[in-house]
Amino acid sequence: MNPFSYNRVTSSEAALHAGTAQGAKFLGGGTNLIDLMKSDVEQPTALVDINHIGLDTVVMTANGVRIGALVRNSDLANHPLITAHYPLLSHALLAGASPQLRNRATTGGNLMQRTRCYYFADTAFPACNKRAPGSGCAAINGFNRIHAILGQTDEGVTSAHTCIATHPSDMCVALYALGAMVEVTGPKGKRVIPVLEFHRLPGDDPAKDTVLGEGELITAVTLPTAKFTKHSWYLKARDRQSYAFALVSVAAGLEMDGNTIKSAGLALGGVAHKPWRVPEAEAVLAGKPATREIFAQAAELMVKGAKTYDHNAFKVELAKQCVVKTLMQAAQST
Ligand SMILES: Cc1cc2nc3c(=O)[nH]c(=O)nc-3n(C[C@H](O)[C@H](O)[C@H](O)COP(=O)(O)OP(=O)(O)OC[C@H]3O[C@@H](n4cnc5c(N)ncnc54)[C@H](O)[C@@H]3O)c2cc1C
Ligand code: SF4
């Protein structure tokens, strides 16, 4: 581990000031950052501890709910406003990690957590464009069972752009289906980013996971007025029933009028560099009766254009089956 300074700040303003230092990183729950520092994947020279700046409440607003960036995953999952109005988010959070980790992990940190690609997390493997830009990608010809089938950059093992990593969060998949917004503040002021645009595909810069700029601090996540309360479901397919990341996950919300779908929010996890949302799949559901046939059409659209590798071809069929099952469950009730 490299030497670093530690600065516990007590306000957003102080966090912003300290966060502009070269090599600085914000410390939330530390459940991802500290692990990566121990293995030398992350090497910040300054840690700015933001655990004492407030931003730890969930409040109802005129247009929905506002979640402070420091709200712990457990507190969020069990908050009465969330369980009553956004059970999809609660279920997704509770499907992630373990109770101990959820007690520590924050909303902002969860949004920013890094991929679980084995080659990224282990510096014994020199080729990883995300960790060491320009070094190539060990995963593409390696053990790529957990890797992306959609939205990846695949220009071959030695290209400086190739990356087939997936985003590991459960919470974020629900945020995509719910149409959340991310509030940030930084050296250039405040801005609000739709969560759909917050995470990046690898494109030609796999090192960059999100559109967050240098020194920008996530302050809150907002959710629009709830419309999927009665009909939503989160399904996580994984190797073990607990304490495992998703091979594929699905967050689905349906706004129903009798058996007719008025609108839908649908997102896949574990298949791409960011949660995967396909507007055409949601559009095909709108105005239709809730049937297995229409859900199967939406499932096909969700994986349209998929490309697989030696060890992850199973994900395409798994994703389709999971989409249909999740929509069937959501249509019945939350
Ligand atoms: C064994 C294990 C199993 C896990 N299983 C799952 C799982 O099944 N599903 C799942 O979704 N997750 C899982 N996780 C990941 C866990 O959810 C994340 O580690 C956690 O959400 C990160 O939150 P944190 O507050 O601890 O972030 P930190 O580790 O503190 O920070 C992570 C990153 O976010 C940045 N950051 C933190 N807060 C802010 C902010 N407000 N503004 C800007 N940047 C910020 C930090 O600088 C850092 O780069 C698992 C983790 C472990 C260790
Ligand atoms: S998939 Fe991405 S994170 Fe994994 S080795 Fe390749 S470049 Fe690195």
Say if CB 120 and CB 202 are below 8 A apart: no
Angle formed by the axes of helices 87-94 and 171-178, nearest 10°? 160
| Domain assignment of residue 224, yes or no | no
Atom of ligand 1 nearest to the CA of 219: 41
Q: Is the CB of 28 under 6 A from ligand 1?
A: yes
Over residues 188-238, the pLDDT tens digits come to: 999 999 999 999 999 999 999 999 999 999 999 999 999 999 999 999 999
DSSP 261-324: EEEEEEEEESSSSS-B--HHHHHHHTTSB--HHHHHHHHHHHTTT----TTTTHHHHHHHHHHH
pTM of the model: 0.98
**Distance from the alpha carbon of residue 149 to the mean position of ligand 2, in angstroms:** 13
| Domain assignment of residue 278, yes or no | yes
DSSP 147-163: --SSS-B-S-TT-SS-B
**Distance from the alpha carbon of residue 11 to the mean position of ligand 2, in angstroms:** 36
Angle formed by the axes of helices 292-302 and 314-332, nearest 10°? 140
* Residue-level pLDDT at 159: 96
Mutate to test the pocket of ligand 1, among 37, 111, 112, 167 (most ligand atoms within 8 A of CB): 112
* Residue-level pLDDT at 320: 98
**Distance from the alpha carbon of residue 309 to the mean position of ligand 2, in angstroms:** 13
Q: Is the CB of 106 under 6 A from ligand 1?
A: yes
Q: Is the CB of 32 under 6 A from ligand 1?
A: yes
* Residue-level pLDDT at 333: 83
For residue 15, the enclosing domain spans 5-48
Give the ligand with the smallest distance to the CA of 129: 2
Q: Is the CB of 74 under 6 A from ligand 1?
A: no
**Distance from the alpha carbon of residue 116 to the mean position of ligand 2, in angstroms:** 9
| Domain assignment of residue 303, yes or no | yes
Q: How many CB atoms lie within 10 A of CB 23?
A: 12
Atom of ligand 2 nearest to the CA of 118: 4
| Domain assignment of residue 265, yes or no | yes
* Closest residue CA from atom 4 of ligand 1: 97
Helix (H, G, I), strand (E, B) or coil at 130: coil
Split into its structural domains, the chain has a count of: 2
| Domain assignment of residue 81, yes or no | no
- Collect all residues with Cβ–Cβ distance below 8 Å to 53 and sequence separation of at least 6: 9, 10, 11, 12, 14, 15, 70
**Distance from the alpha carbon of residue 256 to the mean position of ligand 2, in angstroms:** 40
CATH of residue 312: 3.30.390.50
Q: Report, in this order, helix, strand and coil percent for the chain, each rounded to 5.
A: 30, 25, 50
Q: Is the CB of 110 under 6 A from ligand 1?
A: yes
* Residue-level pLDDT at 64: 98
Over residues 228-281, the pLDDT tens digits come to: 999 999 999 999 988 899 999 999 999 999 999 999 999 999 999 999 999 999
* Closest residue CA from atom 6 of ligand 2: 137
* Residue-level pLDDT at 303: 98
**Distance from the alpha carbon of residue 34 to the mean position of ligand 1, in angstroms:** 10
**Distance from the alpha carbon of residue 308 to the mean position of ligand 1, in angstroms:** 27
* Residue-level pLDDT at 243: 85
| Distance (Å, whole) CA 201 – CA 186 | 23
Mutate to test the pocket of ligand 2, among 114, 146, 164, 245 (most ligand atoms within 8 A of CB): 164
| Domain assignment of residue 176, yes or no | no
**Distance from the alpha carbon of residue 313 to the mean position of ligand 2, in angstroms:** 18
| Domain assignment of residue 191, yes or no | no
| Domain assignment of residue 83, yes or no | no
Atom of ligand 1 nearest to the CA of 31: 26
Could you state, in chain order, the average pLDDT of each consecutive group of 10 residues for the chain (334 residues)?
95 96 96 98 98 98 97 98 98 97 98 98 97 98 98 96 98 98 97 98 98 97 98 97 93 97 98 98 98 98 98 98 98 86
CA atoms within 13 A on the CB side of 68: 17
